[in-house]
Amino acid sequence: MFRLDGKKTAVTGGGSGIGKAVALLFAKQGAEVHVIDLDNEAAETTVREIQDVNAQGKAVARVCDVTSQQQVNDIFGKIGGIEILVNSAGVSHVGNVENTSEADLDRLYNVNVKGVYNCLHAAVPLMKQNKKGAILNLASIANNVGLTDRFAYSMSKGAVYAMTLSVARDYIHEGIRCNCISPARVHTPFVDGFLKKNYPGKEQEMFEKLSKSQPIGRMARPEEIAHLVLYLCSDEASFITGCDYPIDGGFIKLNN
């Protein structure tokens, strides 16, 4: 079950965090993985790790700024015949409406909203040619509940959720499925960097505090998120489209 043999897959943000975990798992399941990332070294590292595990693993590093439609179109034109798209590239921001600057808002919009749009805009026509495709967007619990000091981030992830529903509706008769998932906190390099920058000397204390804010008592591992992504992109999920799946350690429903 959950095999992806020979399926051309594009994973944005595949050089680290959730995107990297998805790329590694999809390659293990037989997909031809195109690791798209702004950081060439990070993308190449993911590809090497795939090939270290399986010499027959098919993986290609693709350097791309998802905020540039021209770059995205060029990359997807080179890939061609794409069957699976995972929009994992994203950035975060801490702040409320008063202390979020115009530059902050533009940065979040350009990566988290326009970046997803650019990839959808490039991938959907390729999927239509073969009358099949699976798209998985990374949303967040921030599009389901109000989070303190996450104004711009919540805005951007709410847009991802809305785009997911729109694409699912518009292309349901083209054989294209589109879903999103809404993770809570996931222990990625971003979290470590955030703690180091904002809480020097108190990293472990704050890590524990953030972990315990989730009812399950810990952050998710990127691999756990990747398992849900795999299911939703596999043929076993062929009857699922237009859905958002929380993967949040009970945060939305149990955090009373």
Residues annotated as catalytic are: 153
Alpha-helix residue ranges (DSSP H) falling in 54-150:
69-79, 102-108, 115-130
Cβ(180)–Cβ(216) under 8 Å? Answer: no
Q: Which of 50, 44, 89 is nearest to 71 (CA)?
A: 89
Instruction: Provide the residue count of the chain.
Output: 256
In angstroms, the CA 237 to CA 60 distance is: 26
In angstroms, the CA 150 to CA 94 distance is: 5
Cβ(25)–Cβ(6) under 8 Å? Answer: no
Radius of gyration from C-alpha coordinates of the chain: 18
Structure tokens at 46: 């993911």
Structure tokens at 120: 């959808």
